[in-house]
Amino acid sequence: MSESEREIAENSQIILDFISDYIFQKHKLPSKTGLIEETGITTPKLNEALTRLIDIKELNIVFGGEGKTGVPEIYLTKFMLQLIIMTQPKPGWISSYSFAERAAIDAEIKTLQEKVLQYDMFERLLYLADIPLEAAIAYTKLVGV
């Protein structure tokens, strides 16, 4: 691997880590401008790394860009986009075509996700700041802890 390829790979990992951390900490999606400002990666090197991540399907542009001036590009990692898509409610009519076993499993998954959310809210007290931290504290008061 050449020096240039190694640098692109390193910058790509910095970008993926930054996007994940940014979303968890701020509950917002970062823009390209935000990536440049927060990571310190220069614009040309950031563009190379973003192109690589998009080409290998590890990063998605979920808003904007398209060459329009003043419209920010918003990025989301492959994993986060898949989670969003997987949690979208299915159309009501699909239940008449679903397997009975699948319906039972879906109900169990929903119950387990609700239980996991309780633990997530407490764990977030360890690493959040600002408004997300306030939401986590409010949740603990709500459940009586």
Residue 132 pLDDT more than 70?
no
Given the structure tokens 């910095």, which residue do they identify? 14
The token duo for 92 is 């009501």
Q: Judge if 66 and 96 occupy the same domain.
A: no
The token duo for 8 is 């692109």
Residue 145 pLDDT more than 60?
no
Q: Judge if 66 and 132 occupy the same domain.
A: no
Each residue's pLDDT tens digit, 20-36: 888 877 878 888 888 88
Which of 88, 103, 128 is at the close of a domain? Answer: 88
Give the pLDDT score at 143. 62
pLDDT grade for 15, boundaries at 50, 70 and 90: very high
What's the whole-model pTM score? 0.63
Give the pLDDT score at 144. 59
**Is the Cβ–Cβ distance between 45 and 12 less than 8 Å?**
no
Give the pLDDT score at 90. 78
Q: Judge if 95 and 56 occupy the same domain.
A: no
Q: Judge if 69 and 30 occupy the same domain.
A: yes
State the average pLDDT for the chain: 82
Q: Judge if 11 and 77 occupy the same domain.
A: yes
Range of the domain at 124: 89-145
Q: What CATH number did the domain enclosing 66 receive?
A: 1.10.10.10
Q: Judge if 84 and 102 occupy the same domain.
A: no
Q: Judge if 81 and 98 occupy the same domain.
A: no
Q: Judge if 125 and 73 occupy the same domain.
A: no
pLDDT grade for 68, boundaries at 50, 70 and 90: low
Give the rounded percent of residues in the chain with a pLDDT score beyond 90: 24
pLDDT grade for 10, boundaries at 50, 70 and 90: very high
Residue 141 pLDDT more than 70?
no
Give the pLDDT score at 54. 92
Q: Judge if 81 and 95 occupy the same domain.
A: no
The token duo for 96 is 């008449």
Q: Judge if 80 and 96 occupy the same domain.
A: no
Q: Judge if 58 and 125 occupy the same domain.
A: no
Which of 68, 88, 108 is at the close of a domain? Answer: 88
Q: How many structural domains compose the chain?
A: 2
Is residue 96 exposed (0-12), middle (13-18) or buried (19+ Cβ within 10 Å)?
exposed
Report the C-alpha gap between 31 and 73 in whole angstroms.
6
Evaluated on CA atoms 97, 102, 107, 109, the torsion sign reads: negative
Which of 88, 103, 134 is at the close of a domain? Answer: 88
Q: Judge if 24 and 83 occupy the same domain.
A: yes
Each residue's pLDDT tens digit, 81-114: 888 888 787 787 877 787 888 888 988 988 998 8
